[in-house]
Amino acid sequence: MCQLLAMNSFKPARLDFSLAGFLRRGGETGEHADGWGAAFFGEEGCRHIIDEQASARSPLAQAVQQQAVSACNIIVHIRKATRGAVTSENCHPFVRKLWGREWAFAHNGTLEQVDASATGHFRAVGQTDSELAFCSLLNALREEFGEQAPELQAQIDCLDAVSAKLARHGSFNFVMSNGETLFARRATELSYVQRAYPFGCARLLDCAMNIDFARHNHLDDRMVIVATAPLTDEAWQPLPQGEVIAFQRGMAHTASPMQFAV
């Protein structure tokens, strides 16, 4: 299946260390060689990048790493095709606009017989079950709340209910962001780690790279990294299974705050 990576940060941050390991899984240390994509949310909106080449061999992926883009929310996906041809239109993340914000979505798993609603505002362009599921989520939000965004908890509750219905059709791990909030759902595999003061050191599992985060961060920096499989030797923890979790400013937004392993 595909691989997911996402970040939610208190302040704009770079993800190039994690990307150095993650993108190697697209055709080098992993079999996910059917395209990749990323969405970086900055002050000017969402920078959306997709490429049907394997990320481990993509010149565009190398350029993104060299640019070291800073953002508060980032979503990255490397694809192993199960539905739809290996084309750019089927590469995640998918992006749509709702409530004046761009939303980006990436999915890991396979869903059977997903109906995005022929009368819905949001329609799929490619042939993937993932894009259909994304349109289903956004259609549900728009139909439930109209043209005005509700409070965050109402969004979580709606996404949780619709996700549970979609999950009846297969495996539904996803990450989604509107540039302010990162939403994530684990069905099978999805883990997280929080990086905050006091910062430690980490080693990538996919290549020989180490970092001392204390040398690159300020005392008030704080971020959460979410990935299908741990990227480093840090104390990653699985997300709660079968529910939508939201992250803002590098922390979880839940009724019972999650205890992060730092």
Neighbours of 215 (CB within 10 A): 8
Let me know if 201 is a catalytic residue: no
Task: Answer for the pair 202, 227: CB distance below 8 angstroms, yes or no.
Answer: no
Residue 45's region, left for phi above 0, alpha for psi from -120 to 50, else beta, is: left
Q: Of 2, 91, 135, 158, which one is the catalytic site residue?
A: 2
**How far separated are the first and last CA of the chain, in Å rounded?**
28
Q: What are the catalytic residues?
A: 2
